[in-house]
Amino acid sequence: MSNYSIKNLEEYFNVYRESIEKPEVFWGKIAEEHFTWRKRWNSVLSGDFESANVKWFDGAKLNITENCIDRHLADRGNKTAILFEPNDPNEKTQYITYTNLSKRVNKFANVLKAQGIKKGDRICIYLPMIPELAISVLACARIGAIHSVVFAGFSSTALSTRINDSNCKLVITSDGSYRGEKTIDLKVIVDEALNNCSCTTSVLVAKRINADIKMKAGRDHWLQPLLDEASDICEPEIMDAEDPLFILYTSGSTGMPKGMVHTTAGYMVYTAYTFKNIFQYREDDIYWCTADIGWITGHSYIVYGPLANGATTVMFEGIPSHPDHGRFWDIIEKNKVTQFYTAPTAIRALAKESLSFVQNRDLSSLKVLGSVGEPINEEAWNWYNNNVGNKKSPIVDTWWQTETGGIMISPIPYVTPTIPTFATLPLPGIQPALMDTNQTELIENQVEGALCIKQPWPSIARTIWGNHKRYKKTYFSAFKNMYFTGDGARRDAVGYYRLTGRVDDVIIVSGHNLGTAPIEDAINEHPAVAESAIVGFPNEIKGNALYGYITLKDKGERRYQEKLRKEINQIITENIGPMAKLAKIQFTNGLPKTRSGKIMRRILRKIASNETSNLGDITTLLNPEIVAEIIQSRL
């Protein structure tokens, strides 16, 4: 038998050792004992980082929805698979059982087929956190269509870029969404996006807010009548282990987002195994991850990981501040949530509110608390531990990425002793390395360096859609035969890892990864702008906020600076989304540059963070005089 569920520290070390020494034996056993296959694999692992051609369970055949749904029907048919909490607390909670989920996924899959969708076709999903979102994801997987979920906070321009990049034939959306007191007209955004997408021939529209929307004849269809007509039986498409399951876009350090491609078998095995261990999931638990399915956390730990384990997974449509700042705690109390997984930015925002919101609720059902998306600061960790977990529930600070598919470094609750702000130890199968700038691995403890991973794991993204060259260059060229994460980390005296933040041009704002390049590209579209540079600076709630240095073509235009600031943020909202708006905009006479013309962001970062006492050597700059000038007019 494999060690599917780790129970103590000694066992962890044994399992870890085996997983590193004999990865194929380790993952082969887990795959064999805990999943349903239509055909066994020829090899557990093949390929390597050097050639960027890693494959897991090659030759095997399966369908992930058989593993997430069908195989639970006999024993767990009446168990709740998805527990849906609407935005409005007065609207009824929905309990979607495994049997019901099976029928709804099959119906949806048949609707997709009737629209001419076939295995390998790409489908864009632009939906709020309503059951149709999880169901449409699973329906795509049922018929082998590749889903590309785009977070419904992205603008129409960002949406059309993503639809075009992977040539999506069909878009699934809704008439709108609820967000606290507000509604958002999603269909209008889709219509705008599709003006620029010739690849999309049909749009399925779920009804949510009863908005009066335009339907384009021949292209747009209301979803419900089609579902009503469809059969609730749909045989799963039998997929190869390495067939793409989905594309999910993430920001990079150049303008185009990267469409990370995840494949079927390795992703399934790894997300299911990590879900089980990191949340110590037991049969009657009620698990809640507050992420949006538009991000990787939602894919892996709301949909696939939990459902592969036959779990009950909560989906929440709303926001933590509506109708008041006790909403999260209400949902936990009402549903007796046992595992709660959220982001540091949400914890920091709620920690600022009156303690009575959390103290007035019975949170005694909680057993495990999770954190994801950015480093969690000590204050937020302590607040979470003291007030939400009542010092009884271990906090799992889970480090991972869209590219890694699943959690990589994290405590296992009740197994790994936790320390605030430390993601602690690598999970089985994960071999981290810290590298210095000379490409040398730092093998001792108490060191800090660039975080790499030495050995392939099952859920690593296999490519960037349509651009394997960029995939190779981004992840496998910085360090020989290693996957480079883009993060920095420190290893302490006992071997625990603490993440220190991005070492590239990606800035994490409220848990959203934002590349500086696409924001700068957007700003530079403004006719008055000559040049711009974006950096992050610390923000109490968001982790980081964005600071923009902007040089105008005509200095005289600065007399309109308030108007310009508004226009620039408007362009950013239109091109990317409101989460990328700049908190501060400083107009400059120039930007500090190296002699080869590269903007010295390191200096700009320090100025924005008001750390100007130690700027390092600036004499080698092309224009050192500009630095004092920028410091002087810092905002």
Task: Give me the 98-137 binding string for ligand WTA, x by CB under 6 A, dash otherwise.
Answer: ----------------------------------------
Please identify, using beta-carbon distances, which residue of 501 and 590 lies nearer to ligand WTA: 501
DSSP state of 429: T
Q: Distance (Å, rounded) from C-alpha 330 to C-alpha 288?
A: 13
The one segment of 38-46, 368-376, 385-393, 527-535 that binds ligand WTA by CB under 6 A: 368-376
Question: Out of 513, 532, 569, 575, which residue is the one contacting ligand WTA (CB under 6 A)?
Answer: 513
Please report, as residue ranges, which positions from 45 to 74 form the binding site for ligand WTA (by CB under 6 A). none
Task: Give me the 454-493 binding string for ligand WTA, x by CB under 6 A, dash otherwise.
Answer: -------------------------------xxx------
Q: Closest approach of Cβ 80 to ligand WTA, in Å? A: 26
Using CB under 6 A as the binding rule, whether residue 399 contacts ligand WTA is answered as yes
Using CB under 6 A as the binding rule, whether residue 423 contacts ligand WTA is answered as yes
SS3 249: strand
Please identify, using beta-carbon distances, which residue of 173 and 421 lies nearer to ligand WTA: 421
Using CB under 6 A as the binding rule, whether residue 542 contacts ligand WTA is answered as no
Using CB under 6 A as the binding rule, whether residue 161 contacts ligand WTA is answered as no
Question: Out of 351, 372, 434, 546, which residue is the one contacting ligand WTA (CB under 6 A)?
Answer: 372
Q: Closest approach of Cβ 511 to ligand WTA, in Å? A: 7
Q: Distance (Å, rounded) from C-alpha 308 to C-alpha 387?
A: 31
Using CB under 6 A as the binding rule, whether residue 509 contacts ligand WTA is answered as no
Please identify, using beta-carbon distances, which residue of 132 and 487 lies nearer to ligand WTA: 487
Using CB under 6 A as the binding rule, whether residue 451 contacts ligand WTA is answered as no
SS3 5: coil
Q: Closest approach of Cβ 144 to ligand WTA, in Å? A: 25
Q: Distance (Å, rounded) from C-alpha 622 to C-alpha 597?
A: 8
Question: Out of 259, 298, 373, 543, which residue is the one contacting ligand WTA (CB under 6 A)?
Answer: 373
Q: Closest approach of Cβ 349 to ligand WTA, in Å? A: 17
Binders of ligand WTA: how many residues, by CB under 6 A?
23
Question: Out of 160, 200, 250, 342, which residue is the one contacting ligand WTA (CB under 6 A)?
Answer: 250
Task: Single out the residue of 244, 278, 242, 276 nearest to residue 261, CA to CA.
Answer: 244
Cα dist. 145→118, 355, 466 in Å?
6, 47, 17
DSSP string, 45-90: EE--TTTT--EEEET-EE-HHHHHTGGGHHHHTTSEEEEEE-SSTT
Please identify, using beta-carbon distances, which residue of 513 and 588 lies nearer to ligand WTA: 513
Please identify, using beta-carbon distances, which residue of 260 and 568 lies nearer to ligand WTA: 260
Using CB under 6 A as the binding rule, whether residue 499 contacts ligand WTA is answered as yes
Q: Distance (Å, rounded) from C-alpha 69 to C-alpha 555?
A: 62
Question: Out of 100, 102, 106, 402, which residue is the one contacting ligand WTA (CB under 6 A)?
Answer: 402
DSSP string, 333-372: HHHT-SEEEE-HHHHHHHHTS-THHHHTS--TT--EEEEE
Question: Out of 508, 529, 591, 599, which residue is the one contacting ligand WTA (CB under 6 A)?
Answer: 508
Q: Distance (Å, rounded) from C-alpha 398 to C-alpha 408?
A: 7
Task: Single out the residue of 313, 263, 295 nearest to residue 372, CA to CA.
Answer: 295
Count CB neighbours of 561 within 10 A: 14
Q: Distance (Å, rounded) from C-alpha 369 to C-alpha 347?
A: 11
Using CB under 6 A as the binding rule, whether residue 401 contacts ligand WTA is answered as yes
SS3 499: strand
Using CB under 6 A as the binding rule, whether residue 505 contacts ligand WTA is answered as no
Q: Record the tokens describing residue 238, joined without a space.
A: 């039998």
Using the Cα atoms of residue 259, residue 489, residue 349 and residue 581 in order, give the sign of their dihedral. Answer: negative
Using the Cα atoms of residue 252, residue 253, residue 257 and residue 262 in order, give the sign of their dihedral. Answer: negative
Q: Closest approach of Cβ 289 to ligand WTA, in Å? A: 11
Contact 252, 384 (CB under 8 A): no
Q: Closest approach of Cβ 489 to ligand WTA, in Å? A: 9
By DSSP bridging, strand 368-372 and strand 339-342 are parallel
Cα dist. 26→10, 32, 458 in Å?
17, 10, 11
Using the Cα atoms of residue 313, residue 315, residue 321 and residue 327 in order, give the sign of their dihedral. Answer: negative
Q: Distance (Å, rounded) from C-alpha 482 to C-alpha 455?
A: 7
Please identify, using beta-carbon distances, which residue of 502 and 526 lies nearer to ligand WTA: 502
Using CB under 6 A as the binding rule, whether residue 532 contacts ligand WTA is answered as no
Task: Give me the 285-314 binding string for ligand WTA, x by CB under 6 A, dash otherwise.
Answer: ----------xxx-----------------
Using CB under 6 A as the binding rule, whether residue 380 contacts ligand WTA is answered as no
The one segment of 72-80, 394-402, 431-439, 524-532 that binds ligand WTA by CB under 6 A: 394-402
Contact 451, 394 (CB under 8 A): no
Using CB under 6 A as the binding rule, whether residue 374 contacts ligand WTA is answered as yes
Using CB under 6 A as the binding rule, whether residue 397 contacts ligand WTA is answered as yes
By DSSP bridging, strand 483-491 and strand 447-453 are antiparallel
Q: Closest approach of Cβ 56 to ligand WTA, in Å? A: 20
Q: Closest approach of Cβ 372 to ligand WTA, in Å? A: 5
By DSSP bridging, strand 312-316 and strand 80-85 are parallel
Q: What residues make contact with ligand WTA under the rule CB under 6 A?
A: 250, 295-297, 371-375, 397-402, 423, 485-487, 499, 502, 508, 513
